[in-house]
Amino acid sequence: MKTKDEGSLKGRVAIVTGASRGIGRAIAVGLAREGAFLVVNYASKAAAADEVVSEIRAAGGNAVAVQADVGDLAQHERLIAAARDGFGQLDILVNNAAVTKRETFLEATTDGWDRTMDVDLKGVYFLSQAAARLMVAQKSGKIINISSVHDARPMLANSIYNIAKAGLVMLTKSLALELAESGIQVNCVSPGAILTDETRDRLADPAYRAKVLAKIPARRVGEPDDVVGAVLLLASAASNYINGATLYVDGGMLLQ
């Protein structure tokens, strides 16, 4: 039976990587709004991360900003320690941080490959491992990976990113299979076209916007809160029997 508190995250502790802007910021604020304590991760934008923390605290929540490059495995302990030592537990990990360097296959470099894979796949794998060690001891936890529709439909001239995101879907399934008996659910959210600071300028061009909208049956670009809704579901007890799934938040883009 569903209880009125089933979707509540009161007292839960969450880490959100890449949370200083865009979708990550919206996810952090959304989780805090539901009562979770937040570790707001950022790689370099300290002022922006501090703004997120201030917004959460102003609304009555609790959050700390922690600098760590997800692509550097030695820095993962900063995030885990912030949850474990600062809040006493870790219930939710949202792997949102990602990088991409658009270049054609014939132009691609090992530097571009290494950096993208380090952050988008290797970093996710090993940060999830560190988080899961705490969650296994707790016999519960939620790991939510933020991918992209390009895990299923490749983007032109961005093959490394496409490959990393496709790998993230299999990573999600593999971890879900191994961790299920420990009461941990691992799922993936794959957004389509979302209006963020990174996409706003391009979408302001009428021709480009029309081209994007033509690919979306809903005929609108998504908002960060559209992604937040999916994450809140997967972070809550309402999703306790959902495991290894990929939820596409794309306005139907992959339907055509």
Q: What is the pLDDT of residue 198?
A: 86
Q: Is the pLDDT of residue 244 over 70?
A: yes
- Average pLDDT value for residue range 17-39: 98
For residue 93, the one-letter residue type is L
- Average pLDDT value for residue range 91-104: 97
Can 161 be counted among the known catalytic residues? yes
User: What residues does 93 pair with on adjacent strands?
Assistant: 15, 143
Q: Is the pLDDT of residue 114 over 90?
A: yes
Q: Which of 125, 161, 208, 241 is catalytic?
A: 161
Q: What is the pLDDT of residue 3?
A: 42
Q: CB neighbours of 133 closer than 8 A, spacing ≥ 6?
A: none
Q: Is the pLDDT of residue 1 over 80?
A: no
pTM: 0.96
Given a contact cutoff of 8 angstroms between Cβ atoms, the answer to whether 189 and 145 are in contact is yes
Q: pLDDT band at 4, cuts 50/70/90?
A: very low
Q: Is the pLDDT of residue 5 over 60?
A: no
Q: Return the percentage of the chain with pLDDT > 70, whole number.
A: 97
- Average pLDDT value for residue range 133-150: 99
| HSE-CB for 140 with a 13 A CA cutoff | 11
Q: What is the pLDDT of residue 199?
A: 92
CA distances to 47, 142, 147, 231 from 241, in Å: 38, 12, 21, 15
User: How far from the centroid of its chain's Cα atoms is residue 183's Cα?
Assistant: 20
Q: Is the pLDDT of residue 155 over 50?
A: yes
Q: pLDDT band at 2, cuts 50/70/90?
A: very low
- Average pLDDT value for residue range 167-183: 99
Q: Is the pLDDT of residue 22 over 60?
A: yes
Q: Is the pLDDT of residue 184 over 60?
A: yes
Q: Return the percentage of the chain with pLDDT > 90, whole number.
A: 96
| HSE-CB for 71 with a 13 A CA cutoff | 16
What domains can be seen in the chain, in order of their start residue? 13-255 (3.40.50.720)
8-state DSSP, 144: E
Q: Is the pLDDT of residue 98 over 50?
A: yes
Q: Is the pLDDT of residue 205 over 70?
A: yes
